[in-house]
Structure 1
Amino acid sequence: MSDDPTRVQEFFTARAADWDARFPDDGPAYAAAVAALDLRPGGRVLDAGCGTGRALPALREAVGPSGVVLGADLTPAMLAAAAQAGRDKEGQLLRANVTRLPLGSGTLDAVFGAGLISHLPQPSENLGELARVVRPGGLLALFHPIGRRALAARHGRQLTPEDLRAEPNLRPLLAGSGWRLTSYVDEDARFLALAVRAG
């Protein structure tokens, strides 16, 4: 998958209308990944690259009515699908590129990113931008509802040593961009890497 923002947008625009229908059983995996963030009522959280907003209901439940839930995505069609599904009631939808977020530094408690890392044009800088908007001690969850091997098989590809999500690659990538990897799970049923904001 290309990391060119225009191609990423074209890819997701073409798939936005039936995205949720293609993956109807992912809800529990999203909820479990959000639970791993251990968010508190009143917390402030961003779903970076939120797509159709499938994580937003679980994020809203975690932070409660007094919390702030933001969903940012580059693709208008995905945000429109999120709104059509009623997920704009769970959080504020923003058309924004995660490479340059319209948020103040240190204003969030956590960032959730589902399927995000393979679409980042400059992963180190972009993860650094996510770190910028999170307070020290805040959390990052990089999630996918299936693991790397299962995802590669779905797309008819082999895993390669260069895969950014492989732990030997991800750990130093996060460390160089303001995060410390604290938990790493890569199994067929899910991929979930948790990191804490350093400093």
Structure 2
Amino acid sequence: MSDDPSRVQEFFTARAADWDTRFPDDGPAYAAGVAELGLRTGDSVLDAGCGTGRALPALRAAVGTSGVVLGADLTPAMLTAAVAAGRDSAGALLLADVSRLPVRDGALDAVFGAGLISHLPQPAENLHELARVVRPGGRLALFHPIGRAALAARQGRQMTPGDLRAEDNLRPLLAGSGWRMVSYVDEDARFLALAVREG
């Protein structure tokens, strides 16, 4: 699925209406992942591939009313679900592809990406685009509310050596895209890779 944006969009369109009810207990994990970004009042942050906007309230709480929160997603149905859940009050929603973000160079302090990495059509190029919109020293959080092994078990599949989220694969991928990985956690209860935008 990761090689074709239209297939990604089709996948999420079919699941948008009941996405939140399928995973009702993920809220605290999202809040904890957002907390790891170290956002400050007044910061500007993008939730890349925001889906139904589950991270937006935590991002808004972190940056306060003076901060900027953007949620970008490729799938209109996911953004519709975010609005239906009232999460558009926490941030501006953009129908946008992470390969071409309508954001100026260096405009953001951070990017949060929940479940993003496995759905990127061109991971190196897409991570480079995320780096483009973040100032030097800004941060990236690649997050999932459960770890790689737990997710594979949930999906009834085996983990593979080619998994982009494996540390040995992700670290050089980030390094080649303008990021330096600073921490990596892959445990049953969460996946979180933090990176800093290189100067």
Q: Normalized against structure 2, the TM-score is what?
A: 0.99
Q: Quote the Cα distance in structure 2 between the aligned partners of 1:147 and 1:91.
A: 27
Contact 1:76 1:95 in 2 (8 A): yes
Q: Quote the Cα distance in structure 2 between the aligned partners of 1:180 and 1:105.
A: 18
* Residue 175 (1) aligns with residue 188 (2): no
Contact 1:96 1:102 in 2 (8 A): yes
Q: Quote the Cα distance in structure 2 between the aligned partners of 1:86 and 1:156.
A: 33
Name the structure 2 match of 1:187: 187
Q: Quote the Cα distance in structure 2 between the aligned partners of 1:91 and 1:115.
A: 19
Q: CA deviation at 1:3?
A: 3.0
Q: Quote the Cα distance in structure 2 between the aligned partners of 1:15 and 1:169.
A: 29
Q: Quote the Cα distance in structure 2 between the aligned partners of 1:3 and 1:193.
A: 22
Q: CA deviation at 1:36?
A: 0.3
Q: Normalized against structure 1, the TM-score is what?
A: 0.99
Unpaired segments ≥5 residues, structure 1: none
Name the structure 2 match of 1:78: 78
Residue type matched to 1:37 in 2? L
Q: Deviations over 1:145-184 (max 9, x none)?
A: 0000000011111111100000000000000000000000
Name the structure 1 match of 2:35: 35
Name the structure 2 match of 1:96: 96
Three-state SS of the structure 1 residue aligned to 2:102 is: coil
Q: Deviations over 1:106-159 (max 9, x none)?
A: 000000000000011110010000000000000000000000000001111111
Q: Quote the Cα distance in structure 1 between the aligned partners of 2:67 and 2:88.
A: 15
Structure 1's consecutive aligned runs of 4 or more residues displaced over 2 angstroms after TM superposition are none
Name the structure 1 match of 2:13: 13
Q: CA deviation at 1:93?
A: 0.2
Residue type matched to 1:169 in 2? N
Residue type matched to 1:45 in 2? V
Unpaired segments ≥5 residues, structure 2: none
Residue type matched to 1:180 in 2? R
Q: Give the root-mean-square deviation of aligned CA atoms.
A: 0.5
Contact 1:3 1:118 in 2 (8 A): no
Residue type matched to 2:126 in 1? N
Name the structure 2 match of 1:47: 47
Name the structure 2 match of 1:135: 135
Name the structure 2 match of 1:58: 58
Q: Quote the Cα distance in structure 2 between the aligned partners of 1:57 and 1:16.
A: 18
What is the percentage of aligned positions where both structures have the same residue?
A: 83
Name the structure 2 match of 1:87: 87
Three-state SS of the structure 1 residue aligned to 2:135 is: strand
Q: Quote the Cα distance in structure 2 between the aligned partners of 1:47 and 1:173.
A: 20
Name the structure 1 match of 2:145: 145
Name the structure 2 match of 1:159: 159
Q: Quote the Cα distance in structure 2 between the aligned partners of 1:122 and 1:3.
A: 7
Q: CA deviation at 1:103?
A: 0.4
Q: Deviations over 1:3-38 (max 9, x none)?
A: 311111111001000000000000000000000001
